[in-house]
Amino acid sequence: MAMTEKHMLRRVQLTGGSTLIVSLPKEWVKSVHLKPGDYVVVMVQPDNSLKIIPAHKRKEAHESILYIDENMPPSIAVREFITRYLVGYDVIKVVFKGKTHEHRVALRNVMVKKMIGVEIVEETVDTVLFQCLAKPAELPIRTAINRMIKVSHYMLKDSIKCLRRREGTLLKEIIERDDTIDKFYLFIVRQLKSVAMGMLLPSEVGLSDLRECLGFRLIAKSVERIGDHASRIAEVLFEYANPLSEDLAQKIEKLGARVCDTYEKTSLALSKYDKVLAHKVVDEVDKIRGMEENIVRELMQSEINVEEALTARTILESLKRIADYCADIAEITVNLSVEGALEKEGK
């Protein structure tokens, strides 16, 4: 074996008349505790290289211990907790020291509002044991993305409905739905990180290869941001005590309806890897930007009160950003469809 840094060269040998074999590096075998008779998973990468993972490693339950004392701000404790969830730990043991009631409450809240399948399985005076019971097969990436899109799409549609008639109860409900978007998003990131670290195969999360995993990681972030902006529209309408003036509301409604329609087309293009429709989405977003600029220009020249102008400006900015994220998703859809076609041609 020749070895330079971390690159190992192995000679391909012929055995049995037609079978080609390559021996595994001795140092690597020792480091991953492989024994004769054990299995390894061989993954073909997009560039036709191979990735080898010990089968037992992928089945091990990963556990992490998080130490929290009264000097740690609760916000940092929450971030540390979420990070361990995203990295793929199945069990997170939290050890508390000192006056940490606020920290416990914060972790419980984030578990309920932001995490899928995480439960408290054991609790003592100074420890809490969290375990993620959700399995990748129960919620594949595509299914999770589709649910994110559906929830965020209705958040947007319902927010637009409140432009003329302020409905406080509905607006509060829209804002709360953003937690559902975050739940799906964090679960998707958790799964994709597990694939990247070799703990899961792409097929176990419903995708074909690492190329597709990368694309869906970017798509998930765009959908999560769309949910944030739909929630932001609901927030500013809730904070503004009155409905928008009739003429202004009508113009924003028209823009909002166009953004909703574009988002729906974006979802359809993604589901079918339809690059023709995806290109149309990108072109449509250019027109939406022009519409938004015209409304902003007219808004600056109008004589409405400052509070209403600021509310309208925030809504318009969010609608434009949602359209921009639709274009991002459409462009990724084009890339995935083209790369998929090239892969088929190469076979």
Percent of the chain at pLDDT exceeding 70: 93
Query: Where residue 325 falls among pLDDT bands split at 50, 70, 90?
Result: very high
Statement: residue 319 has pLDDT above 90:
yes
Are 84 and 16 in a shared domain? no
Strands 63-69 and 50-54, bridge-based pairing: unpaired
Q: What is the mean pLDDT of residues 78-83?
A: 97
Q: How far apart are the first and last CA of the chain?
A: 31
Q: Are residues 89 and 173 in the same domain?
A: no
Q: What is the DSSP letter of 272?
A: H
Name the CA dihedral angle for 33, 39, 42, 43, rounded to a multiple of 10 degrees.
Answer: -90
One domain for residues 50 and 168: no
**185 and 106 in one domain?**
no
**Domain at 125, CATH number:** 3.30.110.20
**pTM value?**
0.86
- Which of 105, 132, 159 is the last residue before a domain boundary? 132
User: Does residue 237 share a domain with residue 306?
Assistant: yes
> Is 122 found in the same domain as 71?
yes
Can you give the CATH number for the domain in which 341 is found?
1.20.58.220
Please give the Cα distance from 200 to 195 (Å, whole number): 5
Same domain, 214 and 330: yes
Q: Which of 24, 42, 59 is the last residue of a domain?
A: 59
Pair 240, 159: CB distance under 8 Å: no
Give residue 2's pLDDT band: very low, low, confident or very high (50, 70, 90): very low
Q: What is the pLDDT of residue 180?
A: 96
Instruction: Please report the DSSP string for 126-182 in residue order.
Output: SEEEEEE---GGGS-HHHHHHHHHHHHHHHHHHHHHTTTS--HHHHHHHHHHHHHHH
Phi, psi (degrees; rounded to nearest 5) at 46:
-55, -30
Local structure of 236: helix, strand or coil: helix
| Same domain for 261 and 240 | yes
Phi then psi dihedrals of residue 257, to 5 deg: -65, -35
- Whichever domain contains 27, its CATH number is 2.10.260
Domain identity same for 173 and 315? yes
- Whether residues 213 and 249 fall in one domain: yes
Residue 56 CA neighbour count, 13 Å, CB half: 8
Strands (E), 48-101: 50-54, 63-69, 91-97
Give the chain's domain count.
3
Residue at which a domain ends, from 59, 75, 100: 59
Helix, strand, coil percentages in the chain from 3-state DSSP, rounded to 5: 65, 15, 20
Scanning the structure block, which residue is given the tokens 């079978």? 19
Q: Which helix (H) or strand (E) holds 7?
A: strand 7-9
Domain of residue 28, residue span: 2-59
Task: Report the pLDDT value the prediction gives residue 19, as an integer from 0 to 100.
Answer: 87
Q: Are residues 143 and 125 in the same domain?
A: no
The average confidence (pLDDT) of the chain is 90
Closest by CA to 54, choosing from 34, 70, 30, 69, is 34
Shared domain check, 171 and 112: no
